[in-house]
Structure 1
Amino acid sequence: MSNVDQTLPAAAEPVARIPRAAYLLTGCIAVIGSNSLVLGPIAPEVAAGFGSSVPVVMTAASAFGLGTAASALFLARYIDRFGAKRMLQRALALLAVALLASAAAPQVIVLVAAQLLAGIAAGIALPAIYASAAAVAPPGRESGTIGVVLTGWTLSMVAGVSMSAVLADLVHWRAVFGAVALLSAIALAAISAMSADDKPAGGVAPAPLGALATPGIVPLLIACGAFMTAFYGVYGYLGDHLHQALGRPVSANGLAAISYGIGFGAAALLDGIVDRLGARRVMPIAYLGVAAIYVLIAAVAGTFTILIATMALWGLGNHFGLNVLVMRLSALDPSRRGTIMGLNSAVTYLAVSVGTTAFGPLYANYGFAASAVVAAVLMLGAAAAAWR
C-alpha cells in the first residue's frame, strides 16, 4: 500500500473577539457626543430661563468647539507622555465638573465658560479614546473595534438628543446637563476599573505640531478637513431646509437625526470588509461613495420622504469614512498616537467652524441642493488626498 499523507489541514484560527474595553470607550464617546449635541434642541428653554436669546445661548456651543480644538492641538500630546487611560480619566473628571457647572450656571456667561471647560476636556478625551481603541484592537479586528467605538456617536445622536428634549420638557433644562454629568462620572468609574495596555513614553511630551513631520499625515489631515467641512456644512443647515423649504415641523430634525444615526450604527456590522481589504484601499473608495451620496442628497432635496431615507445612507457612508480615517492616522506612529489623534480632533473642530461659516452664504443664496453639490466636490478632494 502506498504511503498516504493523512495530515489533516490545520483548523482555522478563531476570529478574535472585540474586547470589552471597546464598549466602555463607546460609552465615553456617547457621553461626550451627548454634551456636544444637546444644547441645540434645548436652546429655546435655556434662553427663556436666562431671559436671553437663542443666538446668545448658542455661543456656549461655539465655546465648546473652540475649547475642543485648542485642547486637542496643545494638550492631547500629553497622552503620549502619561498614557491614554490616565489622560482619559482626568478628562472625564474635568468634563463632569464642567457639566455640573453648566447645570448650575446662574448666567449665560457662566454657561459659556463651563462649556469652554467641557471643550477642553473633550479635546483630551477624544484623542485618548481613539488611541485606546487602536491599542486594544486585536490583530485583524482593527476596523471592527474602532467601528464599535464610533457607534458612540450614534448613541449620542439618537438617544442623547431625544432624551435631552424629553428631560427638558418633563423636568428642566438644567436636568439635562446634570444627567450627562452623572453619565460622565459613571464612565470615569468604568474606565478606572479597565486594565490598560498603553505604554506611556514618559519624558517630554511631543511638540503639538511636531507630528506633522510624520510621513503620510498631511494628506490624511487634508482629507479629514475636507470630509468634516462637507459634513458640518450640509448637516448644519439640514434642519432649516426641512422647516423652511419643505414646510416640516421642527420635530422633523429628530427624524433626520434618527435616520442618520441608524445608518451610521448599522455600518458597524460591515466593518469586517475594511479589515479584509485594508483601510488604505477602502479609504478613497469610501470618500468617493460619500461624494456620490451628496449628489443624491442634492437630487432629492425637494422630497421629504426620500431625503430622510437618504440620511441613513449618508450615515452609513460617513461611518466608513471616519473609521478608515481613524485607522490610518492611528497606525502612522504608535509612539505619537495621542499627538496625531489630537491633530485629527483639532482639524475636525476647526471644520465645524469653517463648514457652518462658509456654507452659510452658499445655503442662503443658492439653497440646500447647491450646498450638497459643493460638499460632493470637497469629498472628491478628500478622496484624492486619501489616494495619495
Structure 2
Amino acid sequence: MSNSDQAATLGANARPPIPALAYLLTGCIAVIGSNSLVLGPIAPAVAVSFATSVPVVMMAAAAFGLGTSASALFLARYIDRVGARRILQAALLLALALVASAAAPTVTALVAAQLLAGVAAGVAMPAIYASSAAIAPPGRESGTIGVVLTGWTLSMVAGVSLSAVLADLVHWRAVFAAVALLAALALGSLTASSLPDVRKAGPAPAPLEALGIPGIVPLLIACGAFMTAFYGVYGYLGDHLHSGLGQPVSANGLAALAYGAGFGTAALFDGIIDRLGARRVMPFAYLLVAIVYVAIAATSNSYGMTLAMVAAWGLANHFGLNVLVMRLSALDPSRRGTIMGLNSAVTYLAVFVGTTGFGPLYSDFGFAASAMVAALLMLVAASAAAWRTRQPHRT
C-alpha cells in the first residue's frame, strides 16, 4: 500500500475533532448555570442584608425559574426563524439583569431582576443546545454535546462552591457582579466567533405546535420525570447533610464538587453513546440513574458514602441529559429551537414541581424516602424513553 493510500485510509478512519465552538458554548452554559445555582448558597447573607428571611429571598430563585419556563415556551420558537446565534447574543444581555441583581436595593428589586434573567436564560439554553447539535461533526454528536454539557459542571463547581466563599470574603453582591462580568465576556467572545446562524424561512411555529412531532411527547415525559427527580432530591440534599448528618454548611460545597466531578468525568465516555445510539442507550441510562437513587437512599446515614453516591449521581445524570438532548435535537432539525424550548420549559416546570412536591415528602418521611420516590420517577422516565422502540428513528 502506498503512502498516499495509507494516509487516505487513516483519514477515513480518523474521528473528526470536537469543534472549538463547542467550548464557547460550554462557557455560555456555565454562565447561565452559575446564575441559576448561586442564590441558594448566598441566600442567608442576602437575607441578613435585607433584614428578611431566606424563604423570602428564595422567591428570586422561583422568579428565575418562572421566567425561564415561560420564555422557553413562548419565545424559543423564534430561534429557528431569527437564528440561534442572534438569539443567544441577545440573551447574553443577561449581564444587565445580573448587574441589576447586584445593585438591587430591595428584595422586590432582586426578584424582578432575576425574573428578567430567567427570560434571557429561557431562550439562551435552547439556542445553545440547538447550536451544539448543529455544529457537531457526523459521528461526534454525543461527544460535542457532552463537551457543551460540561458547562453545568463548571457552574456547579464555580457557582455553588465559590459563591459562598466570595460572599464571605467580599459581599453577596460581588457574586452577581462576577457572573455579570462572565456573561459580558461570553457575549464578546460570541460576537467575535464564527458560530453559524442558520435560519428557517416562514412564520415562527406556535408554542405547542411541536407537540405534534412524532416521538416528542414521550421524550418530554422522560424529561419531566428525570428533572423532577433531580431537583426534588438535590433541593434537600444540603439540608440533609447539615440537619440530618450534622455536617457544617461547607459540606454542601463538597457535595457540589462531588456531583460536578462525576458529571464532568462522564464526558470521557460519551463516545459509547455515538457507537451504540442514543435511542438504545437512553432507557438504560435512566435505569442507571434509578439504581443510583436507590443507593443514595441506602447510604443516606453515612456522609462519606453519600458523597460517593452523589459523584455516581453526577456521572449517571450526565448520560441521561446527553441522550435526552441528542434525541430531542434529532427529531426535526428544522425546528430544533422550538423543540429545545419545550425541553427547557418542561425542565424549569420540573424545578417548581420537584422543589415544592418533594418538600412535604422530605419533611414527613426523610431524605431516603425522597430518593426512593426519585427512583420510581426514573422508572417512568425509562419507560417513556423506550416507548415505540420498534419504530425507525434517526438516532
What is the CA-CA distance between 1:85 and the residue it aligns to?
0.2
What is the CA-CA distance between 1:47 and the residue it aligns to?
1.2
Counterpart of 1:133 in structure 2 is 132
CA distance in 2, matches of 1:149, 1:196: 14
Amino acid at match of 1:204: P
Counterpart of 1:39 in structure 2 is 39
CA distance in 1, matches of 2:80, 2:9: 40
Counterpart of 2:101 in structure 1 is 102
Counterpart of 1:194 in structure 2 is 193
Task: Give the secondary-structure state (helix, strand or coil) at the position aligned to 2:230.
Answer: helix
CA distance in 1, matches of 2:110, 2:118: 12
CA distance in 2, matches of 1:180, 1:30: 10
Counterpart of 1:61 in structure 2 is 61
- Which shifted more, 75-84 or 235-244? 235-244
- Superposition pairs of residues 1-388 of structure 1, within 5 angstroms: 10-11=9-10, 12-93=12-93, 95-388=94-387
Amino acid at match of 1:35: N
Tell whether the 8 Å contact from 1:82 to 1:202 is kept in structure 2 after alignment: no
TM superposition score normalised by structure 1: 0.96
CA distance in 2, matches of 1:276, 1:182: 39
CA distance in 2, matches of 1:323, 1:156: 17
CA distance in 2, matches of 1:15, 1:22: 16
CA distance in 2, matches of 1:321, 1:258: 19
What is the CA-CA distance between 1:131 and the residue it aligns to?
0.3
- Which shifted more, 294-303 or 164-173? 164-173
Tell whether the 8 Å contact from 2:86 to 2:197 is kept in structure 1 after alignment: no
TM superposition score normalised by structure 2: 0.95
What is the CA-CA distance between 1:235 and the residue it aligns to?
0.8
Amino acid at match of 1:213: G
CA distance in 2, matches of 1:20, 1:356: 36
Task: Give the secondary-structure state (helix, strand or coil) at the position aligned to 1:237.
Answer: helix
CA distance in 2, matches of 1:204, 1:59: 36
Amino acid at match of 1:102: S
What is the CA-CA distance between 1:25 and the residue it aligns to?
0.3
Tell whether the 8 Å contact from 1:59 to 1:112 is kept in structure 2 after alignment: yes
What is the CA-CA distance between 1:284 and the residue it aligns to?
0.3
What is the CA-CA distance between 1:163 and the residue it aligns to?
2.2
Give percent identity, aligned residues only: 76
CA distance in 1, matches of 2:55, 2:217: 35
Tell whether the 8 Å contact from 1:294 to 1:375 is kept in structure 2 after alignment: yes
CA distance in 1, matches of 2:187, 2:197: 17
1:5-29 deviation per Cα after TM superposition (whole angstroms, max 9, x unaligned): xx97933421100001100000000
Tell whether the 8 Å contact from 2:84 to 2:127 is kept in structure 1 after alignment: yes
Tell whether the 8 Å contact from 2:161 to 2:256 is kept in structure 1 after alignment: no
Amino acid at match of 1:44: P
Q: How many residues align?
A: 381
CA distance in 1, matches of 2:200, 2:121: 22
Amino acid at match of 1:175: A
What is the CA-CA distance between 1:263 and the residue it aligns to?
0.1
Task: Give the secondary-structure state (helix, strand or coil) at the position aligned to 1:284.
Answer: helix
CA distance in 1, matches of 2:287, 2:263: 17
What is the CA-CA distance between 1:164 and the residue it aligns to?
1.6
CA distance in 1, matches of 2:353, 2:322: 22
- Which shifted more, 320-329 or 298-307? 298-307
What is the CA-CA distance between 1:293 and the residue it aligns to?
0.6
CA distance in 1, matches of 2:166, 2:81: 40
CA distance in 2, matches of 1:185, 1:283: 36
CA distance in 1, matches of 2:35, 2:214: 34
Tell whether the 8 Å contact from 1:260 to 1:313 is kept in structure 2 after alignment: yes
What is the CA-CA distance between 1:161 and the residue it aligns to?
2.0
Counterpart of 1:3 in structure 2 is none
1:310-351 deviation per Cα after TM superposition (whole angstroms, max 9, x unaligned): 111000000000000000000000111000000000000000
Amino acid at match of 1:164: S
Amino acid at match of 1:384: S
1:88-127 deviation per Cα after TM superposition (whole angstroms, max 9, x unaligned): 000001x011001111111110000000000000000000
Tell whether the 8 Å contact from 1:91 to 1:124 is kept in structure 2 after alignment: yes
Consecutive unaligned residues in structure 2, runs of 5 or more: 388-395
What is the CA-CA distance between 1:162 and the residue it aligns to?
2.1
What is the CA-CA distance between 1:250 and the residue it aligns to?
1.2
Tell whether the 8 Å contact from 1:135 to 1:198 is kept in structure 2 after alignment: no
Counterpart of 1:4 in structure 2 is none
Q: After the TM superposition, which parts of structure 1 deviate over 3 Å for at least 4 consecutive aligned residues?
A: 7-12
